[in-house]
Amino acid sequence: MAEAAVSLVIDKLGNLLIQQTVQQIVFLKNVPEQIKSLKTLLIDIQCFLKFADEQQDDNPMIRNWVSKLRDAAYESEDVIETFIVKMQALKKKGFLENLSCFPKRLLCLYKVGKKIESIQKKMFDIEKSRLTFGIDQVLGEGTSTRGEELRKLLRSSPFTEDKDLVGLEEKTNSLVAQLLVQDSSRRVISIVGMAGVGKTTLARKVYNHVDVIGYFNCRAWVYVSQKCSAQEVLVGIIKQVEKQTKESLDLLEGMQEADLERMVREKLQDKCYLVVLDDIWEEEAWDSLAAAFPNVNNGSRLLMTSRYEKVPQYADALSKAYKLETLGEEDGWQLFLKKALAHGLTSESKLPPDLEAIGRKIVERCDGLPLAITVIGRLLQGKSEWKSVLDTLTDQWSRGRKGVSAVLASSYNDLPSYLKTCFLSFAIFPEDFVISTRKLFHMWIAEGLIHQKGVEILEDVAADRLDELVYRNLVQVVAWTANGKVKSCRVHDLLRDLAVAKAEEVMFLKIFGESSSSFPSSKCRHLLVNSCSERLNFPGEFEHSTPPLRSLIFFNLAEVKHEVNLSFVRFKLLRVLDLQNMNISYLPEEIGELSLLMYLCLRYTRIERLPLSLGCLQNLQTLDIFTFASAVEVPNVLWKLRNLRHLYVCETIKRVPLKFDTLKNLQTLCDVYLDNLIGNKLMVMTSMRKLGVWIERSSRIDELFSSIAKLENLVHLVLIRYGEEGFPSLLGLSHLNYVKRLRVSGRLTELPSPHNFPPRLSHLSLRATRLAEDPMPTLEKLEHLSILKLKNAYAGKELSISENQFPNLTVLQLEQLPNLVEIKIGRGAMPQLRCLRISNCYFVEKLPEELRFMKALEKVEVEDMPKRFITRLHGMDSYKVSHVPNIIVTGTLDPRMLGGMLKARRVLDAFVSVTRGKRTS
């Protein structure tokens, strides 16, 4: 654990040495040398820390040694960063003020030199005492080869679900039968069992079972968790029962719990529904939700998972809970083999007897828990020596840790230090929280957890780190992007508990409101404040001490109705400030004093105006101002943020020119109006990778294309123009030689010809274009295209793909095509297709015949399609997809929506007719 902390400080010291502030020290020339010497000493000590970490639980003297070392490492970081903050504050003063502050500067430099000298001496004393405690084993962390292998395995087939689960078919069928039993009353069916036994996995299989999908015309899945927020659960159900607009989402966020309860009840009143309440802990949680689920004698069901039998019994005394037991010896062994030998030996018969004996003993230590077996199996997949792992588990057992606790502790200890710090960061997210990888990566980089690897950019290194954690089964994927990258993720409760326990010790994390209402000690470096903190008032809560916070993160405060008073002036070492969802309408001017701040998130707040002092945040890397305010005033100071890498604005930003072209490090600029960009020399923003622009005046779009044509790193372009006027000609796209991903949102009269698209285009998304003509004859000629998404993009009745076209297409998504009746695919087309998604296309009757010849197809996803389509998919059309390993069906379109869809169809037919008439006249 100290290994991770010291590794983090070493990296930060290295970064500090190259910062201009430190380089400019001329009065005390030995200060940079002292920092270098301190870093070297920490590197030497780090070699012994893995051994020390593993031994400290057993040896109080080693535990004390590790604690002293960690404290000293953090102290050195505090001293140097405090010095930098003071120097930057002095730099802001004018010439005369600077002159008068000259003695203060000398004194500051003298003090920092003495403090570093003192820390160095302390470190030397700690290092000398190492041999006294028997800390003399050097355990290397190895190369990154293992990580590369894991990433390759993970990305080899991202659309394939885990097929290694054993013994679930009979259990699934039993639960499905319970759900579908002829009983018109609303019943609660439950799965109970200890943590890690597979309750959620089993519930998911039941939820996606074809018979369940066919029976219930409305389904929703929500996580309840130990700290139940009825408001969040109810909003989650509403979002799944009925698609929401941005305006309706804003309305939901501001509603009282009683109103949400009434809304859920009304929406479920005339539906045969299935709602899954995953991980419910207390009877009180059920009490807060029960009234939202109407009992209208139509066979509706609730499926509940819980660790405790008392909860489902309380919810429905007549329903017997399904108790999920741990795996038997043979089932556990088979699961272990599938995980540990997935890419090596394929059958038990090929295992050498001595290896089998060790493997069975390892499985025995897992106590039949699937989570433990899966994690340890992944750990062993890259190891040739299993006995050392067995010895480690035996050692953990002797210390009182058993079963899953021993396995998870061993898996954590096996991580290289760069992965330990990344894993510990999951402690800051609430239980069962679905984490956006974009947000996660930005926070990792701001915290200094991610470091350059050759020419690879930091965001790509962060993605590699997450891939390693996913493949080790320490992180669960919630959603994938179309091109097979992790879009969102979460961690199992037990793994989060482990991360919290370690992070509280290693990173001095404090979670306020989850298990304690006491405020953090003076050592606290990372503070998470959650929804239990309605009385929260900063900085009044820190009357007696101000901890050296690096991260201040607020979660689940959307339900706090009164405006929270915030002041950050005491937390000048902050690197991460996350105010997402907070009920605040202003940002204090003092925000400009947080000179080390690298991540500032104001997403979904009510902030209407940003202060001028925002321009003082010279180290800021990520700024997210996607707020709920009806109008957002942004001062023209963003150009000063020269280290900014990611800027997310919102459509309600005031349309005034903003200077951006000094931001040479900017990689992401999303949802900015073209008027905001006018006057900028975009061609000098050479780091730009993703640009999202709202187009209002069509005459300027060619000017935009010519400005960005030479940006070699610009691979992702989003163009948005809503309204009846639609886009003008997009011929200028052909000049964008480097763009690989393009999204066009807004009406298009016609598509450009194939040679007028960006020549390297591989990802294309068309939304709300409402094309009159079939786009496929044009799009199939884009030879590099690998991902195609059409959402409300076409108003015609037939999509036709010619023979042998789309040679490189791997993903095809068709969504909200309200007129579409038939999809035709010519022989030999789309030979590389791996994922097909069809959603909300009510008049499509059947799958295309040619699918049965597509051997590369791994996943067919059907969402919100009519029951007749789903029945046919599992019946007379099943032969077309019998070779596809993953067929996922979610939701069914309510037949009562047909009237509105027919009306929309008539409107679109008229639109197509008019468009064609104009074209021929």
Mean pLDDT along residues 580-585: 86
Structure tokens at 903: 């009306």
pLDDT category at 90 given cuts 50, 70, 90 is low
| Higher local confidence (pLDDT), 43 or 439 | 439
* 524 and 398 assigned to the same domain: no
Specify if 335 maps to a domain: no
| Distance of alpha carbon 424 from alpha carbon 409, whole angstroms | 13
The predicted-structure confidence for 268-296, as pLDDT tens digits, reads as follows 998 999 999 999 988 899 999 999 999 98
Mean pLDDT along residues 907-917: 47
* 820 and 904 assigned to the same domain: yes
Specify if 141 maps to a domain: no
The predicted-structure confidence for 685-711, as pLDDT tens digits, reads as follows 999 999 999 988 766 788 889 889 989
**Among candidate residues 646, 663, 686, the one where a domain is terminated:** 646
| Higher local confidence (pLDDT), 215 or 514 | 215
* 180 and 299 assigned to the same domain: yes
| Higher local confidence (pLDDT), 738 or 404 | 738
* 40 and 126 assigned to the same domain: yes
Instruction: Give the rounded distance of the alpha carbon of 391 from its chain centre.
Output: 35
Specify if 775 maps to a domain: no
Contact 564, 583 (CB under 8 A): yes
The DSSP line for 98-155 is HHHTHHHHHHHHHHHHHHHHHHHHHHHHHHHTTGGGT---------SHHHHHHHHHHH
Domain that holds residue 240: 170-323
Q: CA of 581: how far to CAs of 46, 530, 578, in Å?
A: 40, 11, 9
Specify if 626 maps to a domain: yes
Angle between helices 403-414 and 493-506 (to 10 degrees): 50
| Distance of alpha carbon 242 from alpha carbon 248, whole angstroms | 11
* 689 and 787 assigned to the same domain: no
The predicted-structure confidence for 716-753, as pLDDT tens digits, reads as follows 999 998 777 788 778 889 999 999 999 999 999 899 99
CATH code at position 308 = 3.40.50.300
Q: Who contacts 294 (Cβ-Cβ below 8 Å, separation ≥6)?
A: 186, 265, 268, 269, 300
Contact 407, 332 (CB under 8 A): no
* 526 and 494 assigned to the same domain: no
| Distance of alpha carbon 457 from alpha carbon 461, whole angstroms | 7
Q: What is the pLDDT of residue 435?
A: 95
Q: What is the pLDDT of residue 244?
A: 74
Backbone angles phi, psi at 914, to 5 degrees: -65, -45
pLDDT at residue 40 tops 80: no
Q: What is the pLDDT of residue 376?
A: 82
Mean pLDDT along residues 357-363: 83
pLDDT category at 24 given cuts 50, 70, 90 is very low
| Distance of alpha carbon 671 from alpha carbon 760, whole angstroms | 24
Under DSSP, the state recorded for 438 is H
Q: Of the ranges 527-536, 873-882, 896-905, which is most confident? A: 873-882
Mean pLDDT along residues 757-762: 96
**Among candidate residues 624, 646, 668, the one where a domain is terminated:** 646
* Average pLDDT across the chain, whole number: 81
| Distance of alpha carbon 460 from alpha carbon 450, whole angstroms | 10
* 522 and 493 assigned to the same domain: no
pLDDT at residue 16 tops 70: no
Instruction: Give the rounded distance of the alpha carbon of 672 from its chain centre.
Output: 23
Specify if 106 maps to a domain: yes
Under DSSP, the state recorded for 381 is H
Specify if 338 maps to a domain: no
* 805 and 756 assigned to the same domain: no
Mean pLDDT along residues 508-512: 83
pLDDT at residue 473 tops 90: no
pLDDT at residue 545 tops 80: no
pLDDT category at 348 given cuts 50, 70, 90 is very low
Q: Of the ranges 139-143, 396-400, 497-501, 772-776, which is most confident? A: 772-776
**Among candidate residues 459, 481, 499, the one where a domain is terminated:** 499
* 233 and 309 assigned to the same domain: yes
The predicted-structure confidence for 474-490, as pLDDT tens digits, reads as follows 898 988 888 889 999 99
| Distance of alpha carbon 257 from alpha carbon 527, whole angstroms | 28
pLDDT category at 662 given cuts 50, 70, 90 is very high
pLDDT at residue 899 tops 90: no
Picking from 653, 662, 617, the residue whose alpha carbon sits closest to that of residue 635 is 653
Specify if 773 maps to a domain: no
| Higher local confidence (pLDDT), 766 or 558 | 766
* 494 and 593 assigned to the same domain: no
Q: What is the pLDDT of residue 309?
A: 84
pLDDT category at 436 given cuts 50, 70, 90 is very high
Strand 835-839 with 886-892, pairing? unpaired
Q: What is the pLDDT of residue 612?
A: 95
Q: Using DSSP, state whether 692 is helix, strand or coil.
A: strand
Backbone angles phi, psi at 769, to 5 degrees: -80, -30
Contact 758, 691 (CB under 8 A): no
Count of domains observed in the chain: 6
Q: What pTM value is reported for the model?
A: 0.81
pLDDT at residue 656 tops 50: yes
Picking from 82, 44, 79, 49, the residue whose alpha carbon sits closest to that of residue 66 is 49
Contact 732, 702 (CB under 8 A): yes
Structure tokens at 197: 């036994």
Q: What is the pLDDT of residue 458?
A: 93
Q: What is the pLDDT of residue 27?
A: 42
pLDDT at residue 810 tops 80: yes
CATH code at position 610 = 3.80.10.10
The predicted-structure confidence for 171-180, as pLDDT tens digits, reads as follows 899 999 999 9
Q: What is the pLDDT of residue 741?
A: 97
* 348 and 495 assigned to the same domain: yes
Mean pLDDT along residues 203-227: 88
Specify if 776 maps to a domain: no
* 576 and 613 assigned to the same domain: yes
